[in-house]
Amino acid sequence: MQSVEELLGRARAAQRRLALAPAETRSAALRALASTLAASTASVLAANAADLAEADGLSAAMRDRLTLTPGRVAAMVKACEALAAAEDPLAEERPLGQRPNGLRVSKRRIPLGTLAVIYEARPNVTVEAAALAIRSGNAIVLRGGREALGSNVALGRVVRAALVAAGLDPDAVVVIEDTDRQRVVELLGATGKVDLVIPRGGPKLMALVDAHARVPVIRHGAGVCHVYLDRAALVARAVAITVNAKAHRPGVCNAAETLLVHRALLPEGLVAVARALVDAGVTLRVDPAAGEALRAAGVPTAPAVDSDWDTEYLDLVMAVRVVDGLDDALAHIAAHGTEHSASIVTEDRDAAERFIASVDASCVLHNASTRFNDGGELGLGAEIGISTSRMHAYGPMGVRELTTEKFVVRGDGQVRS
């Protein structure tokens, strides 16, 4: 059996792919889930019957919740079909308007990341929660109760088969088969690996969760921010944006730390940018390809070591790496970025949109300095910080991000039937 940590690592990688999959692929997975589940009704009911046969000392209500019937399986199938046809939440981009300097600011909806649901008895939660996660591009870790383990494992297999059928990575949905309470404690402690825990259950389960939970934290994390100069970058823009992102105020979190340069910009483009940085007082720590081009042009450099790619210098120092293209740049940012800010400089609209869609950072910029990831600059007014936690606030938090919403329902005597 794999450790929770291993499962979470694979779930995170699978989530990145799920989040970037087209809406139609996630819909296809949900349709496959509906049809596979319908076709598996007999085996799922058999697993459930075995759970029921082994269940001792359950209250009548718990027993009822644990019980699957053909009707309840059909209801799960219907829920998956409804989600397959539902609007894609990740399609939403909400314009916040244009700033006086011409920047166009918007917010794009993204998944939270990896969810963990902790629940009891009701095996239908396994399918419904997994389907919600697939629709919303989240990985999900399902930790049900011991009494429902056989049912949950059977349903988990169905969900994972549906993901595979749609060409997605099945590790985005994990059924934890170890029902030791210690696994719940581990999930609650897996900060950075799990983004949100959703417990659903009776007083005993809630007491366990409450004993090990802490107040939610929205981190104002470090910024290892990136500027990527694409093949189609205008050199003058690349110079201005890179120098501003690095040297305007090097001690703050939205200052850039790493410059990624498309190989096609070598040597002239790279040399122009590097020279401007050096003129602004910046020390360059460069990979071999950049070092060779810059030495030939007489620009002073120092060699980068591995730790440079993960360092928030907060100083007039910049790491420089040559990449083979957009994919290479995206892979570098995914590996070394701190989900803070990243900017692409390019005249290629398609490359820019792919960068915007792919980079997981609180603020993704096109042809603008990373220094604009700031509440005042983005039009929020005063900010309490820049969230690097993927909670309701990601990026600058203004007064609105310190609030939530309650539901208000106005009727004229309606009752539920």
CA atoms of 236 and 229, how far apart (whole Å):
11
User: How many residues are recorded in the chain?
Assistant: 417
Q: Is 361 in the site for a copy of itself (CB under 8 A)?
A: yes
Q: Is 402 in the site for a copy of itself (CB under 8 A)?
A: yes
DSSP string covering 116-172, please?
A: EEEE-S-THHHHHHHHHHHHHT-EEEEE--GGGHHHHHHHHHHHHHHHHHTT--GGG
Nearer to a copy of itself, 50 or 221 (CB): 221
Taking a C-beta distance cutoff of 8 angstroms, is the pair 361, 240 a contact? Answer: no
Q: Which of 94, 124, 117 has its CA nearest to residue 107?
A: 94
Among 132, 229, 329, 351, binds a copy of itself (CB under 8 A): 132
Q: Which span sits near a copy of itself by CB under 8 A: 66-74, 166-174, 327-335, 386-394?
A: 386-394
Q: Which of 233, 278, 276, 251 has its CA nearest to residue 368?
A: 233
Taking a C-beta distance cutoff of 8 angstroms, is the pair 313, 335 a contact? Answer: no
Residue 102 Cβ vs a copy of itself, minimum distance, rounded to whole Å = 6
Residue 331 Cβ vs a copy of itself, minimum distance, rounded to whole Å = 19
Residues 249-278 touching a copy of itself, rule: CB under 8 A, are 251
Q: What angle do CA 220, 337, 393 make, to 5 degrees?
A: 35
Q: Which span sits near a copy of itself by CB under 8 A: 40-48, 66-74, 112-120, 283-291?
A: 112-120
The binding track of 320-359 with respect to a copy of itself, each residue x by CB under 8 A or -, is: --------------------------------x---x---
- Backbone CA torsion sign across 372, 374, 380, 381: negative
- Pairing verdict, β 395-397 and 385-387: antiparallel
Cα distances (angstroms) measured from residue 197 to each of 108, 117, 190, 400: 23, 6, 10, 24
Nearer to a copy of itself, 175 or 363 (CB): 363
- Pairing verdict, β 341-345 and 225-229: parallel
Q: At what angle do helices 70-85 and 23-39 cross, to 10 degrees?
A: 170
Residues 207-226 touching a copy of itself, rule: CB under 8 A, are 209-210, 212-222
Among 112, 158, 265, 277, binds a copy of itself (CB under 8 A): 112
Q: Which span sits near a copy of itself by CB under 8 A: 10-18, 129-137, 263-271, 324-332?
A: 129-137
Among 74, 198, 207, 305, binds a copy of itself (CB under 8 A): 198
Q: Is 246 in the site for a copy of itself (CB under 8 A)?
A: no
The binding track of 87-106 with respect to a copy of itself, each residue x by CB under 8 A or -, is: --xx--xx------xxxxxx
Nearer to a copy of itself, 86 or 296 (CB): 86
Among 45, 47, 73, 117, binds a copy of itself (CB under 8 A): 117
Q: Is 154 in the site for a copy of itself (CB under 8 A)?
A: no
Residue 88 Cβ vs a copy of itself, minimum distance, rounded to whole Å = 9
DSSP-derived secondary structure letter, 256: E
Residue 246 Cβ vs a copy of itself, minimum distance, rounded to whole Å = 11
Q: Is 409 in the site for a copy of itself (CB under 8 A)?
A: yes
